[in-house]
Amino acid sequence: MMHTRKSDCSEATDDARIELSRVGVSYNGQPALDDITVTIEHGAQVAVVGPNGAGKSTLFKALVGLLPLRQGQILIHGRPLGSHNNCVAYIPQREEIDWRFPVTVNDVVMMSRYGRLGWLRRPGARDMKAIAAALDQLGIANLADISIGELSGGQQQRVFLARALAQEPHILLMDEPFTGVDVSTQETILDVLTQLRQRSVTVLVATHDLNMAATRFEKTLLLNHRLIAYGHSEEVFTSETIRQAFGAQVFEVGANLVIDQCCGGHNQQAIQPLDIKTRT
Ligand code: ADP
Ligand code: MG
């Protein structure tokens, strides 16, 4: 390959799989991810679930090369990270973004095209079209000139999803996109996921909503520093795997398992293996 900076992800691919072997990540010697081995198949849509501090965000950062691996290897498209353009779009948790940064909605979405443009080229017709389509799809074309700090949580999530779509990725990583957004934004995100499934984009979504994982995602990856389970959502959630992941946060109420995820019961979820119900 002659062009070292070729960065066009728009061509379809049939190898947008993600392979982790024995991956470990630590912060100051403390393991956050430990010995994770798993292959996410091309085109899969996966909910990444686990208690607070389980390493969900760490996993995503490792997948985009933001954190060094203490051990193991990650392959994307069958190749190591950084050896090529991986065509991975990553939407961080909203709390990790500095919303005071003085940029407009249009600026943010435009940034997604710089990987293709190089820094010195002007955006062309194709870039403008991709940006307009993404803004339209997320219903935020009317917000293009607004500063991101002025937006609601749901609007902010839409902006970053628009940016990810304009990148035309093969793989999309979304960290807690359903947290702190309105119901209509949640539905919009789920609609986008349906469209991405048709295009066989591989999608990982971190969520603390186990019922969402079980009902809306074909696959679930259950994590608590180590990999507890990966597979079809209906097979992943058993009382045993839930107890392994959530430990002392799990208790029984009648036939249900209830998970008290935080805050003294404000965020309880009732889980019945293979028949999951929410109780709030
Ligand atoms: P999750 O997203 O599942 O809540 P994280 O990946 O954010 O979990 O965190 C995993 C573990 O790593 C936690 O114990 C957390 O305290 C720790 N951790 C996360 N980020 C840092 C950091 N920048 N420095 C030190 N420890 C961190
Ligand atoms: Mg997190």
What is the rounded CA–CA span in Å between residue 92 and residue 88?
13
β-pairing, 171-175 vs 88-91, is: parallel
Give helix 153-166 / helix 125-137 axis angle, nearest 10°: 140
| Predicted local distance difference test score (pLDDT) of residue 254 | 72
Residues with CB under 6 A from ligand 1: 27, 32, 50, 52-58
Q: In 3D, which of 227, 228, 216 has the Cα closest to residue 187?
A: 216
**Centroid of ligand 2 to alpha carbon of 62 (angstroms):** 13
**Centroid of ligand 1 to alpha carbon of 30 (angstroms):** 10
Helix (H) or strand (E) holding 101: none
Tell me the two tokens of residue 262.
């935080």
Q: Which amino acid is at 70?
A: R
Q: In 3D, which of 38, 36, 30, 25 has the Cα closest to residue 70?
A: 25
Question: Along the 280 residues of the chain, how does pLDDT read in single tens digits?
Answer: 333 334 456 666 778 899 999 999 999 999 999 999 999 999 999 999 999 999 999 999 999 999 999 999 999 988 898 766 668 999 999 888 888 888 999 999 988 776 655 555 677 888 888 899 999 999 999 999 999 999 999 999 999 999 999 988 999 999 999 999 999 999 999 999 999 999 999 999 999 888 899 999 999 999 999 999 999 999 999 888 988 998 877 777 777 777 776 554 445 565 544 344 433 3
Which atom of ligand 1 is the closest one to the Cα of 54?
Answer: 3
| Predicted local distance difference test score (pLDDT) of residue 228 | 97
Helices (H) and strands (E) in the chain, counts: 9, 13
| Predicted local distance difference test score (pLDDT) of residue 117 | 54
Query: Which residue puts its alpha carbon closest to atom 1 of ligand 1?
Result: 53
Question: Could you give the 3-state DSSP secondary structure of residue 232?
Answer: strand
| Predicted local distance difference test score (pLDDT) of residue 273 | 42
**Centroid of ligand 1 to alpha carbon of 136 (angstroms):** 35
Helix (H) or strand (E) holding 32: strand 30-40
**Cβ atoms of residues 212 and 237 within 8 Å:** no
Nearest ligand, CA 59: 1
Question: Could you give the 3-state DSSP secondary structure of residue 221?
Answer: strand
**Centroid of ligand 2 to alpha carbon of 142 (angstroms):** 30
Place of tokens 């079209």: 129
Question: Could you give the 3-state DSSP secondary structure of residue 61?
Answer: helix
| Predicted local distance difference test score (pLDDT) of residue 5 | 39
| Predicted local distance difference test score (pLDDT) of residue 181 | 94
| Predicted local distance difference test score (pLDDT) of residue 231 | 97
| Predicted local distance difference test score (pLDDT) of residue 1 | 35
Question: Domains, the chain, ranges and CATH?
Answer: 16-87+169-245 (3.40.50.300), 102-165 (no CATH)
| Predicted local distance difference test score (pLDDT) of residue 9 | 66
What is the rounded CA–CA span in Å between residue 143 and residue 109?
12
Phi-psi region of 230 (alpha: psi -120 to 50; beta: other; left: phi over 0): beta
Ligand 1 pocket, mutate which of 25, 28, 58 (most atoms under 8 A from CB): 58
